[in-house]
Structure 1
Amino acid sequence: MSRQPTELPPAKVALSDDEWRQKLTPEEFAVLRQAGTERPGVGEYVDTHTEGVYNCRACDAELFRSTEKFDSHCGWPSFFDPSQSDAVILRPDDSHGMRRVEVLCASCHSHLGHVFTGEGYPTPTDQRYCINSISLTLVPKKV
């Protein structure tokens, strides 16, 4: 796993809340900028098996690839590793009475979801990056 900083490094893409509100829909803003969560099973990429790259919906940075996506049946898209080790930032999240690890876009610090370890999924990393569909944009592989 990546480092878990107490303070985030400077964002490469830094906009004010008003600028993010202009760029994102209210639903996207609630998840990406306010650390919300979409309801399980409703996201457009939950059951997607299209080959391609998943980018941050806020800043378009590459985050995950379809080759690391797997069916966890948890209600959100799941990946066992980011596309590059520095694509995401992990930080402790003790909100809602739980101890979790939040996943943020390294480029713009948007909330993507959480990562869980040791759940027994048959993946190379034993990790499940549980990511909100609304945080992602799939760029299909060109044939």
Structure 2
Amino acid sequence: MRILITGAFGQIGTAVSRKLETQFDVIRTGRNIPGRQKGHLLDVRDKILVQNIIDVVAPDLIINLAALTNVDDCELNPDLAKEINIAGVQHLCDAFSGKIIHLSTDYVFNGVNGPYSEESTVAPINVYGNKTCVRTYSAQ
């Protein structure tokens, strides 16, 4: 199985990549590739680049870890947060007809009635939570 991981050089992406590459053909992508690491440059904001990498790699599965996750940066740059956290996900969905695993955040909840499950009602209280909210993706 060939797995394409976006955001593969972040903290979670690095751990997921290391775990999966022992059993699967893992293709790592990121906006920046740290020195001596192997991977493909991919900015999910670029719809054409997303399509091209998917066409070339031909993955069986995509794990999307690409995101603007710094809450303060999202508050200061809501348009950038939308481009990466919403449009980027849409580009992946438009370019790939297979399964995509997308990790989210607990910031889609307001912190009042935890612990939360996937069925819990979302109520983001900041730009980061709003821009990563599944309801927001489906509304776009």
Larger radius of gyration: 2
Whether these two folds match at TM > 0.5 is no
Comparing both structures, which one devotes a greater share of its residues to strand? 1
Of structures 1 and 2, the one with the larger relative CO (CA 8 A, separation 6+) is 1
For normalisation by structure 1, the TM-score amounts to 0.25
Comparing both structures, which one devotes a greater share of its residues to helix? 2
For normalisation by structure 2, the TM-score amounts to 0.26
